[in-house]
Amino acid sequence: MNHYRMFHSLTALSLASLTLGSAARAANTQPRPRLIVTPASMKPFLSANPEDSAWKNAPTIPSLPLSLGEESAGLTALPTQVKLLWDADYLYIRFVCISSEIHSPYKTHDDPIYKGDCVEMFLDVKGDARQWIELEVSPRCVTFDKVMTLTADPISDADLILAPDLRNRDLWRDLSWTLDGLRTAATIQKSGKRITGWTVDIALPAKPTLRRLGLDHFAPMTLRANFLRYEYPATNGAKRPLIAMNWSPVRWGCPHISPQAMGYLELGE
């Protein structure tokens, strides 16, 4: 074989190896989940009261699986439900979290509450992976919100994570942004003195949420979204592990840079 043929044979072999390697890492190939959200027949009280009857027949995500990746190996997802409703003024979200203890050390808005127990949601109202909202709420009702804007067309890898050069150059994070009119509530449930879980209610106001669409009211439409729960269970003197759970499959630690991994919410009639 001459050097020309040898070069091209080796090049083809290298490319094939890279392709196989990429395929081996392409763990995020599952279909994106979809949920039809019906209008609220009665307004939730937004008190995080587990007995609020407005949520009784709400469309429900019955569980949140573990995030993808080796970081989730050996961990078990905790029971978590997400319920959704909507009306013209608000998109309503309720998280129901089962837990035997709470790790929630943060007390001030926009503290890094994702370093403790919390629930999170990501919302891309236009669905083009160019701008998305991140909202977090702790069991003690401390909130964190920001908006992320991508100034170039989205390019993601096989795991649906935005390309590193794109993130470094074209992804802008606005931590000063505040979702005006946001309403939240949180309660911790107990049986006697024993913690059994916690509930979070969220109401996203239509006008600031739908600004990119030029709308000030929710109506039948399709939105891209993801819902997550972070839990840091106590261990015997060791560092608390992060149990990361999510609705739409996403790599562990990467939901904020995975807009194309979001699922679909269909606001129905």
3-state class of 259 per DSSP? helix
CATH number, domain 31-267, options 1.10.3430.10, 3.30.465.10, 2.60.40.1190, 3.30.70.360: 2.60.40.1190
Select from 14, 2, 31 the least CA-distant residue to 262: 31
Q: DSSP class of residue 100?
A: S
Report the relative pairing of strands 60-61 and 263-267 from DSSP bridges.
unpaired
Q: Is 21 helix (H, G, I), strand (E, B) or coil?
A: helix
Q: pTM (2 decimals)?
A: 0.89
pLDDT of residue 7: 32
- The widest CA-to-CA distance across the chain, in whole angstroms, is 81
State the pLDDT at residue 15: 34
Backbone phi, psi, residue 224, to 5° = -95, 135
CB under 8 Å to 9, separation ≥6 — which residues? 1
| Domain range summary for the chain, segments of one domain joined by + | 1-29, 31-267
pLDDT in tens, 196-243: 999 999 999 999 999 999 999 999 999 999 999 999 999 887 889 999
Query: pLDDT tens digits, residue range 95-129?
Result: 999 999 999 999 999 999 999 999 999 999 999 99
Using CA atoms, how far apart are residues 166 and 173, in angstroms rounded to an integer? 13
Percent of the chain scoring above 90 in pLDDT: 87
Map residue 139 onto helix, strand or coil. Answer: coil
Q: What angle do CA 202, 204, 205 make, to 5 degrees?
A: 140
| CA angle at 194 for the pair 188 and 200, rounded to the nearest 5° | 15
pLDDT tens figures, 119-175: 999 999 999 999 999 999 999 999 999 999 999 999 999 999 999 999 999 999 999
Query: Residue 38 and residue 78: Cα distance in Å, rounded?
Result: 26
